[in-house]
Structure 1
Amino acid sequence: MKAVRSALLSVSLYIGLSGTDSATIALAQIQAAGSQASSQTVEASNAKAAKAPNRVLRKVVIRQLSRTRGLNVDGINVVAEDGIVTLLGTVPDTHQIDLATDATRDMAGVREVRNSLTLQTNGK
């Protein structure tokens, strides 16, 4: 606590000795730095908030695919962005490509399905 008081006293003395113009400039610089830091925090918060619906949609699609009878979801990855869902990965047969597309297309929040699923080869 003594260190804080000492720092405040030093700043006060500096401002008092340097004159009004320097004090005004120093205060403006401090306020600008605080404003910039606040602005960066808000931008990061907004970016995080914008990604939240994409994460939720991705989880819902994954859950739906895992509940789809006859679909092997082990090799499927889902990317969701602004209602556009991309299915990536591999499935064991062509029927499952259509099954995954149909299960995803009918879901609330899905505007478009981009299916990039491929067939598994060599047992992988």
Structure 2
Amino acid sequence: MKLLRTAKLMIGVAAVSASFYGNAQSGASAPVSASVPAMASAANGGKTSSKAADRALRRKILTALADAKGMRAAGITVRATDGDVLLEGWVPEVAQIEQATRVAQGVPGVKTVRNTLTLSTF
């Protein structure tokens, strides 16, 4: 009985290793696969700079929120995409919900602001 179980196990291991070997061999054409990411990054050059611009805008908004008088920005998350800004998270006072929108709109490069902040008093 042990011999039969061991034989089944060995066949299973052989099948799994053969599938890994087959997958490794299908990617053997290194020059082609190496050139694909290079072509993709060349074609997406605008996306890379766009992501960097979004990150920079996000940092500017977070800094402006942190510097705003009477604003507690610790619970706020900012998402920026091509100048469109989403404010998420929580603030401790109702007035800060509207204040966060005004502060974000005042940052250069912001086109629109969508505010989904909620009130949290914990």
Same fold (TM over 0.5): yes
The residue identity in structure 1 corresponding to 2:54 is N
Identity of aligned residues (%): 34
Gap regions ≥5 residues in structure 2: 1-28
- Structure 1 residue identity aligned to 2:67: R
Contact 2:65 2:73 in 1 (8 A): yes
Q: Secondary structure at the match of 1:80?
A: strand
CA distance in 2, matches of 1:37, 1:108: 34
Task: Report if aligned partners of 2:87, 2:114 keep a CA contact under 8 Å in 1.
Answer: yes
For residues 55 and 103 of structure 1, the distance between their equivalents in structure 2, rounded to whole angstroms, comes to 17
How large is the Cα RMSD of the aligned pairs? Answer: 2.3
What TM-score do you get using the length of structure 1 for normalisation? 0.66
Q: Secondary structure at the match of 1:113?
A: strand
C-alpha separation between the residues in 2 aligned to 1:76 and 1:115? Answer: 10
Counterpart code for 1:90: W
Q: How many residues align?
A: 94
Name which one, 1 or 2, has greater alpha-carbon Rg. 1
After TM superposition, the score normalised by the length of structure 2 is 0.67
Q: Could you say if the C-alpha distance between residues 31 and 83 of structure 1 is closer, same or farther in structure 2, counting changes exceeding 3 Å?
A: same
SS at 1:107 equivalent: coil
How many angstroms does 1:106 deviate by?
1.7
SS of the residue corresponding to residue 109 of structure 2 reads: coil
Aligned to 1:17: none
Query: What letter matches 2:82 in structure 1?
Result: D
1:45, CA displacement in angstroms?
4.7
- Distance 1:42-1:120 versus aligned 2 partners, 3 A rule: same
